[in-house]
């Protein structure tokens, strides 16, 4: 039997399986139903200025984020600001941002600059 006609177990089976696949059209967007808790999520980035270092700002930020079910991080910057990233539902991020405007009791927040960031972020909330 010529080599081109020999059956090659595995290779020929895979080729046959691929040939038998059919393209299935996805359902229209209007028919998709999101499971509870799977609403659109987004990522936001904040730079918080004021007396925000040495006053447990990052720890309080982590506690607030975890209480709201957000993922992200908070870290001190060399210029005295705290940089915060968070990933979650837009309405929850709005609540979190309102908290960042106030901060914990010992902090004095002078300014909060908000931006977006690519998401999602790793699960949990870290401080650095």
Active site residues: 58, 76
Q: Cα–Cα distance between 42 and 89 in angstroms, integer? A: 6
Q: What is the separation, in whole angstroms, between the first and last Cα of the chain?
A: 68
Helical ranges in the chain per DSSP H: 11-20, 57-68, 90-102
Q: Cα–Cα distance between 94 and 32 in angstroms, integer? A: 26
């Amino acid at each position: 039997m010529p080599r081109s006609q020999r059956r090659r177990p595995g290779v020929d089976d895979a080729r046959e399986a691929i040939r038998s696949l059919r393209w299935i059209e996805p359902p229209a967007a209007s028919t998709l139903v999101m499971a509870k808790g799977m609403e659109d999520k987004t990522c936001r980035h904040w730079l918080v200025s004021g007396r925000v270092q040495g006053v447990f700002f990052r720890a309080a930020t982590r506690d607030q984020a975890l209480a709201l079910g957000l993922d992200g991080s908070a870290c001190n910057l060399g210029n005295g600001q705290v940089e915060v990233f968070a990933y979650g539902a837009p309405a929850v991020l709005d609540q979190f941002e309102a908290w960042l405007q106030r901060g914990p009791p010992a902090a004095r927040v002078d300014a909060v600059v908000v931006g977006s960031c690519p998401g999602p972020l790793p699960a949990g909330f870290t401080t650095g």
